[in-house]
Structure 1
């Protein structure tokens, strides 16, 4: 029994050991599985974090790359902006530096017949009025005829006849309405066509009037009408192309006796030269700065502009004058600005020049230095154009204003002004003497010349600029010859005079201006004399030689 118990106990204990071993193995296996799962989780987490870190680095790298690219593109855009501004500045300076050269190849001549404008004809657009409405068709109104068994119904024949009658009546009413609409359409179409033809006729009439005006302008110009000549050369200057900022305003007068054109031209201000020399982009500050153009450079360019505009204007006028109406041009260049001391508007003459066709057309303007060329032409140029230092015009524009010659008494219709050609020699002498006394000269000696004029020796009391002045006046109908100018110059030398003034009731030829050029001689024509009398002596006069007038024989 005891042995049996020991055997049972051994079996049980073996089973318990086996169970414990199995449990131990299971626990070990569970621990192994748990451990492996934990390591996998750690590895997975580590891999995830590494991935996220890599992604973040890639994102930051991409952001930095994108930011650098944006910064590069922005910098390039700012540099391009500066380059464009500098290029525009260079182009503007180049335009200002080549004002004369750019105009030499242009054909400034105006073909007056090209001014004729074709008629601006309207277009006939009848729109809906041109559409004909189709007329009604009877067949579309007729009822269908009864057929087959329908004919057998009682009253079908009478019913059909009534339907036909009703359809016919409706058709007739629609035909009448259509005819009325068609009549109204044709009426409106006729009215529209009549209005169109009237507009066409008016357009042709306006064109005919404009063409007649051009033909009249052409006729007047061909016949040498001073007004037509002034209008033509005004158009020439108006069509000249300058950069923005140039006034391009001019007043022109023409003296037919001497074939002299007087031009008062508006010059640009000093501000036409850009103050900015260049632009620069500073990357660190992200700003565009301006470099100021040196003042000396601006002054030099402005002086060149004044010279170029003067020569260009003279060139364009002579080149456009194919009929050779002009022998001499007087050019006065003015600037309108504000006096910084008084705040008032002022008009200053910066350049004045008188030159003739032969002298000017003999120049090769493509090779000249504009300022040096003006010296050769004996132009009087401001010593300091920027500071508006004025020069005295060779000839004031108002002194050749035709209004002083043609002004009439519009109230009575009669011209009551004294005629200088009808004065006695003594009266003419007194008139001239009184005029120059009013102008501030002290007349010391006056005598009548043998050719019916006046010889006067006067004194200008102004210090430095004053001195002895010889004045001679000639009452002539025809152009004064160059011999009179030579005689005046000889008298000046004999008298030791510092200046000579020759006045005539007519005008001077090219030879007279050529001889007087560079000498202290002033030549005043009839229109100049009328202006001086009106402005300084308060005398409104006229110059009308009698039919029997003969120019006196000059002094021997």
Structure 2
């Protein structure tokens, strides 16, 4: 009897374990499907920027400070309530005298009641007047606070509309902070606005490769009487992770451009970072696994629900995507986030006239070229200046002796206040090809438009605008500022 029960239990195990394996496999596939739907799920939610006027508080009314009982005058004493009853027709001896005394006493009490009523009414009127004055004063304070808050919102909105660095950075920081991340992804993200180029730099933390299930499926192993995982092919794991990273980059573009209610961003730089532990050193690292630059025009031409995310970011936006993200192999950002950080370029003093740093716009073109030469030298590059007018479009040649990442760089310096036209960027690219250089660098005291960035995508060109230039000067201890004089 015991053997038959034991045999029956053993016969139940494979079906039960098989079902467990099927459930685990289904969970893994569901997770992979969810990772593949990150972009489509984001597109299903309407994104719109905040109308700053909606942040204005509604006017508030001061609460009433007068008791309803005090609002109306209290009725005064009535003589009929005091007058004694007159003697009847049959009067006893002395009734008239007693009535006269009662009448005199009633008159005294009535007079006292009138006086008390008068004093009470005077106190009530004083109390009402005082309460009304307090209510008026409280209402005045509330109105002033509301007007002050409305004025701050109006000033904030004007600052955003005028492309002011700090205001636009704050606007997009708050907009993106309201976005929830799917599947418990990291929430760390930073933005910096570069007004000279109407560019928003975004540094976005991505989940590491561990977010993709390392198991492809599960099966029941009868010999071991256990549910066993089937490892996912490393190539497939890498492909799924790259697909996820590309989706997250496109999702970020969708969120940024969708939040731009005031039309102040023409170009977005996206750097996708991963915070992880380097298995070779055990140290925490933050490699950049994807970097791209997108203009509004490029983005608006996309049909996001019909494209291949990896093909889009690589071929359309010329993005750099880590070939081996599972090994935390980094890519070089198209723009280092720190070069867009406004904290490194704001004026030292509120009154610019007492700021001791030289204004780069006061330099001559030749002096500006020498400053750029000095900057590149401090950055560790070997540089050679060309004589003006004989450089064939080259102001400076810099050599980076490092293997792999080094090479010959041709540099142009534009001491301009107007936006650098796309033709200058195209000319620089031609110079790079003619000179057989590794990279072309265009440094300016102004900014670049979206067409210039669009042309530079995927080409060995680095565009350094006023913000990035000042950040580099700050990093390498070169005092500098850029103050545009009123015309």
Task: Please tell me the TM-score bracket, short chain as reference.
Answer: 0.7 to 0.9
CA–CA distance in structure 1, aligned partners of residues 350 and 159 of structure 2: 25
Aligned pairs for 1:210-229 (under 5 A) are: 210-229=149-168
Residue 433 of structure 1 aligns with which residue?
373
> Aligned residue pairs: how many?
447
Q: Report the Cα offset of residue 311 of structure 1.
A: 1.8
1:510 pairs, out of 446, 450, 459, with: 450
1:357 to 286, 291, 296: 296
Name the CA distance, whole Å, in 2 between partners of 1:412 and 1:544.
8
Q: Give the drift of 1:407.
A: 1.4
CA contact (8 A) 1:454 1:474 kept: no
Residues 323-362 of structure 1 correspond to what in structure 2 (within 5 A)?
324-335=263-274, 347-362=286-301
2:192 corresponds, among 227, 252, 271, to 252
Q: What residue number does 1:529 align with?
A: 469
Shift of 1:221: 4.0
Distance in 1 of aligned mates of 2:336 and 2:366: 29
For residue 196 of structure 1, give the secondary structure of its aligned residue in structure 2: helix
* 1:197 maps to which of 122, 128, 136: 136
Q: Distance in 2 between matches of 1:180 and 1:392?
A: 87
What's the RMSD between the two structures over aligned residues?
Answer: 4.3
Q: TM-score, normalised by structure 2?
A: 0.75
Structure 1: which 5+ residue stretches go unaligned? Answer: 1-82, 278-290, 549-556
Question: How far has the Cα of 1:233 moved from its partner?
Answer: 3.6
Of 41, 44, 62, the match for 1:101: 41
Q: Secondary structure at the match of 1:541?
A: coil
Shift of 1:363: 0.8
Confirm whether residue 159 of structure 1 aligns to residue 85 of structure 2. no
Which structure's CA Rg is the greater one? 1
What is the Cα deviation at residue 130 of structure 1? 3.6
Aligned partner of residue 145 in structure 2, secondary structure: helix
The one of 110, 115, 132 equivalent to 1:176 is 115
State the partner residue of 1:119. Answer: 59
Deviation string for 1:258-299 (max 9, x for gaps)?
A: 33222334556779899999xxxxxxxxxxxxx999999998
Q: What is the alpha-carbon distance in structure 1 between the residues aligned to residue 126 and residue 74 of structure 2?
A: 14
Q: Which residue is 2:79 aligned to?
A: 138
Deviation of residue 384 (structure 1)? 5.6
* Maintained 8 Å contact 2:375/2:478: no
Distance 1:201 1:274 in 2: 62
Report if aligned partners of 1:336, 1:348 keep a CA contact under 8 Å in 2: yes
Q: Residues 417-456 of structure 1 correspond to what in structure 2 (within 5 A)?
A: 417-424=357-364, 427-443=367-383, 445-450=384-389, 455-456=395-396
Cα distance, 1:412 vs. partner?
9.3
1:484 aligns to 2:424 (yes or no): yes
**Alpha-carbon distance in structure 1 between the residues aligned to 2:198 and 2:285:** 31
Q: 2:386 aligns to what SS in structure 1? A: strand
Aligned 8 A contact 2:48 2:260 in 1: no
Quickly say closer, same or farther: Cα 1:208–1:382, change in 2 above 3 A. Answer: same
- Equivalence for 2:318: 378
Deviation at 1:531, TM superposition (A): 1.6
| Higher share of residues assigned helix | 1
Contact 2:165 2:342 in 1 (8 A): no
- In structure 1, what is the Cα distance between the partners aligned to 2:102 and 2:483? 102
Q: Distance in 1 between matches of 2:95 and 2:205?
A: 102
**1:397 is aligned to 2:334:** no
Aligned residues of 1:356 and 1:510 also touching (Cα < 8 A): yes
Deviation of the 1:204 alpha carbon: 2.5
Query: In the TM superposition, what is the alpha-carbon distance from 1:539 to its structure 2 partner?
Result: 0.6
Q: Return 5+ residue gaps in structure 2 as ranges.
A: 1-22, 217-227
CA contact (8 A) 1:408 1:414 kept: no
Secondary structure, aligned partner of 1:448: coil
Deviation of 1:472 after TM superposition, in Å, equals 2.7
CA contact (8 A) 2:161 2:264 kept: no
Structure 1 pair 134–477 and aligned structure 2 pair: CA distance change class (3 A):
closer
Could you tell which deviates more after superposition, 296-305 or 525-534? 296-305
Alpha-carbon distance in 2 for matches of 1:184, 1:228:
54
Confirm or deny: 8 A CA contact 2:274 2:287 kept in the other structure: yes
